[in-house]
Amino acid sequence: MSLAIIEKEGLHLFVAELLRQKNTVVGVKDQSAVSSIPGDSGFYTYAPINSPGEMTLSFDVTLIPPKKYLLPAYEQLLTFNLSPGSIKADAPKEELIIFGVHPYDIIAINQMDKVFSAIPQDNHYLERRKRTTIIGIDPVKVAPRAFWSSMGADTVAGGFDLMLTDIGQCYVVDVGSKKGASLLKTAPRTREAAPAEVKERDKVRAEARKRCDANRLSFSYLELPSLLDGNEEHVIWEEKSHLCFSCGTCNLVCPTCYCFDVRDDVSIDLKKGSRYRTWDGCLLSDFARVAGGGNFRGHRADRYRHRFYRKGQFIYRRFGDIACVGCGRCSAQCPSDIADPVTVFNRLKEGI
Amino acid sequence: MGSPSPYLPGLATIMKIEEQTAMEKLFMVRPNDGKPLGHKPGQFVEVSVFGVGECPISVSSAPNKKTDFEICVRRAGNVTNALHNLKAGDVIGIRGPYGTHFPFEDLKGKDLLFVAGGLGIVPLRSFINYALERRRDYGRIIILFGARTPADRLFKAEIASLARRPDLEYLETVDVGDASWKGNVGVITTLFPKFTIDPKKTYAIMVGPPVMYRFAIAAARAKGLADDHIIVSLERKMKCGLGKCGHCQMGPVYVCQEGPVFNFAAIKNLEEALS
């Protein structure tokens, strides 16, 4: 499919049209613009927007990935009523457009799609996914801890409905689905991209990649599964995990972490209630604790190691994907700065 | 939802509750839709006490044509405590059966060495009773049962009748005896010197607490059993039973999907499997 162009002034009109058509449009907001805390450097966040002007597309990375809309931090699965003895599953009904998703986050969503589609399917996730339109945007700014260029996540071939690249005077648009194609028809001032504009897109992408290369793995990310083989007893796990608070922040902000807990809520009359799932994290001390009190990952170092193996090897062995996309959120948000995959993996590679 | 929710339990009624020990009760459960559970020995179900939550519990009865099945539950957490407070006629939720099962068909004609540590007898009972109902399909049957104290022994009456059967060998032990206990005292491996096996024909099927495996596997190996002749069932936290929630992950393996029953040879090199 050939690439399209949306003129800059056309984009606001396009977003206005999306807001008119669909239930919810989520875009990236710059929280530093609204922070009342003096000296707050702020952060970017995905949030519902009411007008095109609320949204920024030149963000480096958001604090929390867009997974929060596909696997909500709190998602009701069932409701029950014990009096008549009935129980029913809840289904998401809302149509959603997420506007402005970077390629690395789309790759993470593609991984979640694979996990939740694996038999037995998780229809709650799949239903929500089906109702979600993803409009991607190539990053121009690079977050200080990002290393997506060395995780093969600087561009993405699929998993989006539309993918935009800001080439200065306009956006080059790649259409990734029929849904994307029909949405694009509603955008004013579109046209086919000229070869020079396509070249410009490649240049913009290459420049961003180069900036991201400032922070990189010293080897190909495809070596990760074999690099981790035999490194289970490496001193780094014990050494770094001494500083781990077991707070689970790295899990919360990770776009490829999808583990959850299941809990019940009950009304005050003890008759009605709901079952919901909520994010959980393998760095939390009770994550692998069983009812009898045994804890199969009771040591901090074991939990810390598990996370890196899960990213670099376990998910690869199961689903064929490296479960780290180089967004750098974990390293940026870890209170004691021990979560950086670049530091850990490069150290393993050095063999010291 | 266009497709059914995999988290939606079927309603089931508790038909009978039998106290086993101070900590364990046996529940006979009947699915309200009248359909048999259709489980195989070694599989588990997710049991719901609505308003409290859900937890994985092994099915303890042998597969049969009846709709009722049994679960034996230790009072250990919120859901199991709530289960213990229920009475016959109360309604619970059941999802499943889930997971792998003991290779009861592949083991036809073989000698079976059951090694049950404490609550490990609960899933093993499903296979033991299945094998005893088809006694001629299997070779020798040796059952080793270890409990902490005489008071902790599950299925006492049933076991007493097992012990009297001439077509099986039954050995048991307690970690700590009392005045009434005349039998063996010591961990389960102290039973191993008391019998001989033909390691080529014999398969050990063990279920017990994590600490038991290391020693029981060593004892089985010392008897000449190859690693692929040792079958284990592993306990893990399983919130979903569908390979999604991540709690039971053991390397690239999800215990709720590829387990809980494993051939030891397949998992012996997996970090965290038996630690």
β-strand partners of B117: B146
- Which chain B residue's Cα is nearest to A92? B1
pLDDT confidence of A291, banded at 50, 70, 90? confident
B274 band by pLDDT with thresholds 50, 70 and 90: confident
> Residue A12: what are its φ and ψ, rounded to 5°?
-60, -40
Residues of A in contact with B76 (CB under 8 A): 291-293
- Give the count of beta carbons closer than 10 Å to the beta carbon of residue A227: 19
The three state secondary structure string of A40-94 is CCCCEEEEECCCHHHCCCCCCCECCCCHHHHCCCEEEEEEEECCCCEEEECCCCC
Note whether B237 contacts A259, CB cutoff 8 Å. no
Q: Helix or strand or coil: residue A300?
A: helix
Report DSSP state, residue A281. Answer: -
Q: b/e for B47-70, b at 16 or more Cβ within 10 A?
A: bbbbbbbbbbbbbbbbbeeebbbb
Point out the residue among B80, B210, B250 whose CB comes nearest to the CB of A294: B210
Residues 6+ apart with CB under 8 A from A334: A249, A250, A340
What gap in Å lies between CA A124 and CA A91, rounded to an integer?
A: 7
Q: What phi, psi does A26 have (nearest 5°)? A: -105, 135
Residue B64 confidence (pLDDT): 82
pLDDT at A37: 65
Asked if residue B58 has pLDDT above 90, the reply is yes
Whether residue B145 has pLDDT greater than 90: yes
Task: List helix spans (H) across chain A.
Answer: 8-21, 67-70, 103-117, 123-130, 178-185, 195-212, 224-228, 235-241, 249-253, 300-309, 315-319, 329-333, 341-350
Give the tens place of pLDDT for each residue, B83-117: 999 999 999 999 999 999 999 999 999 999 999 99
Query: B14-25: per-residue pLDDT in tens?
Result: 999 999 999 999
Structure tokens, A33: 């613009």
- pLDDT for A22 equals 73
**Locus of tokens 């939990």:** A303
Q: Does A259 touch chain B (CB under 8 A)?
A: yes
The pLDDT assigned to B1 comes to: 65
CB B8 within 8 Å of CB A78:
yes
Sheet holding A96-101, edge to edge: A44-48, A24-30, A96-101, A132-137, A162-166, A170-175, A4-7, A190-192
Position B158, amino acid: E
Residue recorded with tokens 């259409």? A175
Task: List the beta strands (DSSP E) in chain B.
Answer: 10-19, 24-31, 44-49, 53-58, 69-74, 91-98, 111-117, 141-147, 169-174, 184-185, 202-207, 230-233, 249-250, 253-254, 261-263
Neighbouring CB atoms inside 10 A of B97's CB total 20
ipTM of predicted complex: 0.92
> Residue B242 corresponds to which tokens in the numbers above?
């569908």
3-state SS class at A257: coil
CB B100 within 8 A of CB B259: yes
User: Which residues have a Cβ under 8 Å from the Cβ of A178 and sit 6 or more positions away?
Assistant: none
Mean pLDDT in residue range A262-277 = 93
Q: Does B249 touch chain A (CB under 8 A)?
A: yes
Distance separating alpha carbons of residues A215 and A226, to the nearest angstrom: 22
For range A195-212, the mean pLDDT:
97
Interface check A131 vs B, CB under 8 A: no
- Asked whether the beta carbons of residue B50 and residue A80 sit closer than 8 angstroms, the reply is yes
Nearest Cα to Cα of residue A157 among A93, A209, A103: A103
Residue B42 · residue B123 · CB < 8 Å: yes
Q: Which residue of B has its CA nearest to A317?
A: B252
Look at residue A39 in the predicted model and tell me its pLDDT: 62
Strand order in the sheet with A272-279: A86-89, A74-81, A272-279, A260-266
Q: What pLDDT was estimated at residue A81?
A: 92
Mean residue pLDDT across chain B: 95
Q: Mean pLDDT over all residues of chain A?
A: 94
Residues 49-108 (A) with a CB less than 8 A from some CB of B = 77-78, 80, 82, 85, 87-91
Amino acid at the residue B32: N
- pLDDT number for residue B156: 94
Q: Which of B50, B119, B242 shows the shortest C-beta gap to A120?
A: B242
Nearest alpha carbon to residue A319 among A176, A129, A107, A106: A107
- Count the Cβ atoms, other than its own, within 10 Å of residue A126: 17
At A83 the pLDDT is 79
Percent of chain A with pLDDT over 90: 87
Cβ pair B272:A302 closer than 8 A: yes
Window B:106-165, CB contacts with A under 8 Å: 119
Residues of A in contact with B272 (CB under 8 A): 296-297, 302
The residue with tokens 């709709």 is B67
* End-to-end CA, chain B: 41
Residues near A268 by Cβ (< 8 Å), separated by ≥ 6?
A: none
Peptide bond before residue B260 is cis, with ω within 30 degrees of 0 = yes
What is the β-pairing status of strands A170-175 and A4-7? Answer: antiparallel
SS3 label, residue B71: strand
For A274, phi and psi rounded to 5 degrees?
-145, 160
Model-level pTM?
A: 0.95
Mean pLDDT of B154-180: 95
Summarised one tens digit per residue, pLDDT across range A87-132 is 999 888 889 999 999 999 999 999 999 999 999 999 999 999 999 9
Q: Six-digit token pair at B52?
A: 């409290």
How far is A27 from B68, CA to CA, in rounded Å?
A: 53
Instruction: Report percent pLDDT > 90 for chain B.
Output: 93
pLDDT in tens, A141-182: 999 999 999 999 999 999 999 999 999 999 999 999 999 999
Q: For B77-86, what is each residue's pLDDT tens digit? A: 999 999 999 9
